[in-house]
Amino acid sequence: MTGNPYGEFDDARREYVIHRPDTPLPWLNYLGQDELIGLCTNTAGGFTFWRDARLRRLTRYRHNNVPLDLGGRYLYVNDGGTVWNPGWKPTKTPLERYECRHGLGYTRLVGARDGVEVKQLFFVPPGETAELWQTTVTNTGAAAKDLRLYSYVEFCFYEALNDMTNLQRTYSIGEVEVEGPAIYHTTEYRERRSHYTLFACTRETQGFDTSRDAFVGVHNGLHEASVPFTGASQGSIAHGWNPIGSHELRLRLEPGASETFAFVLAYVDQGEEPRFERPGVVNKATGRRLLERLAEPGAVDTAFDELRAMWDGLLSRFQVECPEPSLGRMLNTWNQYQCMTTFNLSRSASLYETGIGRGMGFRDSNQDLLGFVHLVPDRARQRILDLAATQLADGTCYHQYQPLTKKGNAEIGGDFYDDHLWLILSTCAYVKETGDTSILAAPVGYADRPGSRDDLLHHLETSIAYTLANRGAHSLPLIGHADWNDCLNLNCFSTEPDESFQTTGDVEGSAAESVMIAGLFLYASRELAALYRHLGRPDDEERLGRAYDEMLAAVEEHGWDGDWYLRAFDAEGRAVGSHERDEGAIFIESQGWCVLGGAGVGNGRARKALESVHERLYTEHGVLLHQPAFTRYHPELGEISSYPPGYKENASVFCHAHTWIDLAWCLLGDGDRALDYYLSICPATKEDRIETYRNEPYVYSQMIAGRDAAVPGEARNSWLTGTAAWSFVVAAQGILGVQPDYDGLRIDPCVPPSWDRFHVTRRFRGVVHEITVLNPNGVCGGVRAMTVDGRRVPGNLIPLSTGTGTIHVEVVLGAEQAAEAFG
C-alpha cells in the first residue's frame, strides 16, 4: 500500500483503481481510439466528440464550472424516493460502495447502496463511432426492488465555440426526434449537416425527455434534476433551448436478480443515404442498423473483448521487467497509453485544454510521434505527411491545424522558428522504426502554394535551409516569435493587457537569436546526415556535416556563458540565460539541446553544463526551467515573466523540458542521475504525496510547481503534454538503451550500477526481440558482449533479422560507455 488514500495501480489488469470519488482533482481517462473520443472522469464527467473537439462536439461540458467536473454521462437511480448516481455525481448521495477503474480505452464504475449495485462500463468499440455504456443493475438485498433509472446527456451543437457563446442563435435551433428507445439529436440537420447524434438504449424504455428545462428544471442544478426526483419522465420534445437525451427505465428486480443492457451514444453519418424519410423527418436507417447490431446478444461483450485484444497487441510491442517498479509500471502500460492519447488529441481536449483553442500542434505532434511510432507506424506515417502539408514554402509552419479539415491556422500565432526542425526528428524516427524510406518520396505540397507537389525529403531540406538562412549577429538561429518555449517572446514587447502574447506581432527587423534552436539544429542536421548515409548519398551527408560544423562553431564561440550554455540573445543583442542577469540566469532548454546535439564534447562543457543544471535547477520534484524565477515583468522577455514565480514557463518543473536533461545524462552515461531524474517527475512515484501533487498518478502532467511557488510539487495540466513521448524515449531508449536504428536495433543502456539485469521485449520490423541485459560488474553501460540466438555479434547493433519470429538476445554490460552520439 502506498500513502495514497484515493486509489492504486492494478498492474495485472492494467487499470488504475480509484476507491473514493472525491479525488484531489477529477481524474480523467479517455474512451475511444479512432474517430469517436470521449473524456471520462472518475465520476463519469466529460464529453464526447467525433474527430475534432471543436467542430464535431456531441455533448456539452462546461470546463470552468463550479463545482468542477459537472456534466457527463449520468445515470440517476431512484430507489423508493432516494436518488443516487453510481459515479457519485451529480447528486453526491453517499454510496456504500464506490469504485472506478480507469483502463485502456475504458472506464468501469461501480456504485452501490441499499441493496442495489450498478456497474457501468464505458468504452468505444474499435472501428465504431459509438460510445457504449454497458450497465448492470443487481439487487443484492433481501427484498424485491422497484427501481427507476434515468440516463442523461446534454447535446452540443457540434461547433463548440459557437455553442457556448452564440446563444441568441443556438437557443432557437435545437431539434430532436424520438423513436422508441432512440433519441435523435438533429439540430442543423435540416440545413447543411448530413450527420446526427443518436442516444439510445438497447433495452425497452418506459419514458424519455429531450428538454433540459423539463428534465432538470430551469432553476435547478443537475444534483436536484426534477424528473429523477419526481420519478416521472415528461416525454418532452425540445424546440430550441437546450436539448438533452434522457431515458426512463423501470426495473423490477427480485433478490439476487440482475439486468444488463447498454446505452449507446453515437455519431451517425448518413453518407450517401437519402437524408429524409419524408419531408421534415430524418432518415434513421443508418442509426437503426447500428442499434440493431449493438443490441444483438453478446455484441457489447464481443466489442469489449476486441478492445482488450487491441491493447494487448499494441503493448506487446514493448514490455520490460526491471528492478524499478515505477519505471516498469509506467513503461509497460501508462506511458504508452498516454502516448497514444497525445497521438489522438495532440493538445486539443482535456480538463485543461477546452478543445476550442488548440488543435494539432506542429511541434507538439512531431514530438509526440516519438512516443507512438512503434505502436501505430502506419498512422504515424500519415501524421507526418499531414503535418508536412502545413509547412509553408519558405520552411516555416502553421503552428497548428484542425484535425477535421487538416488545414493550418494562425489562431494561436505563428513564426515559431523551431517548428520546422521537429519534422526531421519525427521523420527519422519513423524511418528507423519501419525501414520505410518510401515516405521520403511521398508527395506533399506546401500550405501556401495550393496545388504544389513536392516530396517529404524536400520539406526536411526546406527546414534546414530556413534555419541556415535566418541567423543573427552571432550566426545563431533567429528565434522568431518564440522557440519551444512559447513564452520566451524576445521580439514582441507587449505592454497592453488586452493583447495575447502568442499572437501579438513582432517588431520589424528584430534579430533575437536562440541557442536552444541552435542545439536542436545540431541534433536535426546530424539526424538528417545519418539518414543520407543510410540512403547512400555521401555528398548530401557531407553537406549537412558542414552545416553542422558551422553551427557547432557558432554555439561554442558565442553560446557559452562560462558554466553553462546561454539561452538566447534578445532583440538588443544582450545574452539571455547568463550569469549577468539577476533573474533567468540559467535555463535548461539550451543545456539539454546543446548536449544532445553534440556540443561540449571533448571540451568538458557538456558535463559542466549538466552539473550546473544539477546544482542550480534540480529539485526533488524535477528540474526547474530556469533560475532565478522572474519576480517582475520584463517586456523584452515576454510572457515568460508574466507568470507568478514557480508556475508554468516561469521556473516551474516543466516536465517536457526536464526530459531532455535526463536524456543528456544518458548520453553522458550517468545511470544513477538518469534514473533519479526519471523518477523525480514520474507520476507513479507521487502517490505518497498525492495531497500535494493532486493530479492523476498514472499520467504525466505538463508542469509541477517549482521551488518558488506557493506549493512546490503541485502538478497542473495533466495528460496532453510532450512529456509523455519524451519520457518514453528517455526510459526506453536512454535508460534501457533499446534504440531503433536504420540497420537494426541498437543496445546502449544507461542504468544505475545497482541494476544487475533487466529484460525487454521489443517488436521491431516484424520480429520479436527478447532482450536480456546482464550487468555482472555493476556498471552503467557499455556493451561488452552480445549474442543473438546464441551466436556472438560484434558491437551493440542487433542486425535486422528476416522472418517474423522471435529472436533471443543476450547482452552483457561491461566496457565503460562510449560517449558516443545518442540516437
Burial 172-195 (b: 16+ CB within 10 A, else e): ebbbbbbeebbbbbbbbbeeebeb
The 698-737 contact track toward ligand GLC, x by CB under 6 A, reads ----x------------------x----------------
Q: Is 128 left (phi over 0), alpha (psi -120 to 50) or beta?
A: beta
Q: Report angle CA 708, 364, 452 to the nearest 5 degrees.
A: 150
Q: Report angle CA 519, 358, 630 to the nearest 5 degrees.
A: 55
Give the C-alpha separation, 209 to 236, whole Å.
Answer: 5
Catalytic residue, chosen from 483, 486, 561, 708, is 486
Least distance in angstroms from the C-beta of 419 to ligand GLC: 9
CA 675, chain centre distance (Å): 23
Choose which of 310, 412, 465, 821 interacts with ligand GLC (CB under 6 A): 412
23 binds ligand GLC (CB under 6 A): no
411 binds ligand GLC (CB under 6 A): no
H helix runs in 536-604, sequence order: 538-558, 589-596
**Is the CB of residue 129 less than 8 Å from the CB of residue 49?**
no
Q: Which stretch binds ligand GLC (CB under 6 A): 57-65, 479-487, 509-517, 579-587?
A: 479-487
The CB-nearest residue to ligand GLC is 486
163 binds ligand GLC (CB under 6 A): no
Pairing of strands 626-627, 586-587: antiparallel
Please give the size of the binding site for ligand GLC, defined by CB under 6 A. Answer: 15
The 429-468 contact track toward ligand GLC, x by CB under 6 A, reads ----------------------------------------
Choose which of 267, 484, 726, 764 interacts with ligand GLC (CB under 6 A): 484
Least distance in angstroms from the C-beta of 589 to ligand GLC: 9
498 is catalytic: no
Q: What string of DSSP letters covers 503-545?
A: TSPPPTT---EEHHHHHHHHHHHHHHHHHHHHHT-HHHHHHHH
Q: Which stretch binds ligand GLC (CB under 6 A): 382-390, 481-489, 602-610, 765-773?
A: 481-489
361 binds ligand GLC (CB under 6 A): yes
633 binds ligand GLC (CB under 6 A): no
User: Closest by alpha carbon to 371, among 615, 723, 15?
Assistant: 723
401 binds ligand GLC (CB under 6 A): no
Q: Which stretch binds ligand GLC (CB under 6 A): 79-87, 472-480, 483-491, 811-819?
A: 483-491
Pairing of strands 145-158, 74-79: antiparallel
Burial 215-244 (b: 16+ CB within 10 A, else e): bbeeeeebbebbbbbeeebbebebeebbbb
Smaller CB separation from ligand GLC, 134 or 701: 701
Least distance in angstroms from the C-beta of 577 to ligand GLC: 15
**Is the CB of residue 126 less than 8 Å from the CB of residue 120?**
no
Choose which of 176, 351, 487, 637 interacts with ligand GLC (CB under 6 A): 487
**Is the CB of residue 360 less than 8 Å from the CB of residue 346?**
yes
Q: What does the block give as the cell for 729?
A: 524515449
Choose which of 57, 185, 363, 581 interacts with ligand GLC (CB under 6 A): 363
Least distance in angstroms from the C-beta of 600 to ligand GLC: 23
Least distance in angstroms from the C-beta of 467 to ligand GLC: 17
Smaller CB separation from ligand GLC, 727 or 775: 727
Least distance in angstroms from the C-beta of 700 to ligand GLC: 11
Give the C-alpha separation, 419 to 365, whole Å.
Answer: 10
The DSSP element (H or E) to which 660 belongs, if any, is helix 655-668
Q: Which stretch binds ligand GLC (CB under 6 A): 63-71, 478-486, 558-566, 580-588?
A: 478-486
Smaller CB separation from ligand GLC, 652 or 817: 652
383 binds ligand GLC (CB under 6 A): no
592 binds ligand GLC (CB under 6 A): no
Smaller CB separation from ligand GLC, 33 or 485: 485
Q: Which stretch binds ligand GLC (CB under 6 A): 111-119, 211-219, 482-490, 805-813?
A: 482-490
Q: What does the block give as the cell for 764?
A: 521491431
Give the C-alpha separation, 736 to 742, whole Å.
Answer: 19
419 binds ligand GLC (CB under 6 A): no
H helix runs in 245-402, sequence order: 285-295, 299-315, 325-329, 335-345, 362-372, 377-388
Smaller CB separation from ligand GLC, 154 or 589: 589
Smaller CB separation from ligand GLC, 209 or 662: 662
660 binds ligand GLC (CB under 6 A): no
User: Closest by alpha carbon to 74, among 220, 215, 230, 267?
Assistant: 215
Choose which of 649, 687, 696, 748 interacts with ligand GLC (CB under 6 A): 649
485 binds ligand GLC (CB under 6 A): yes
Q: What does the block give as the cell for 5?
A: 488514500
Mapped onto helix, strand or coil, the DSSP state of residue 90 is coil
The DSSP element (H or E) to which 107 belongs, if any, is strand 106-113
Least distance in angstroms from the C-beta of 486 to ligand GLC: 4
User: Closest by alpha carbon to 377, among 740, 780, 774?
Assistant: 740
Choose which of 117, 175, 177, 639 interacts with ligand GLC (CB under 6 A): 639
Distances (CA, A) of 43 to 39, 223, 290, 459, 815: 11, 13, 28, 46, 53
648 binds ligand GLC (CB under 6 A): yes
Residues 208-247 that bind ligand GLC (CB under 6 A): none
Smaller CB separation from ligand GLC, 335 or 485: 485
589 binds ligand GLC (CB under 6 A): no
Residues tagged active-site:
486
Residues of the shown chain interacting with ligand GLC in the complex, contacts defined by CB under 6 A:
347, 361, 363-364, 412, 484-487, 502, 639, 648-649, 702, 721
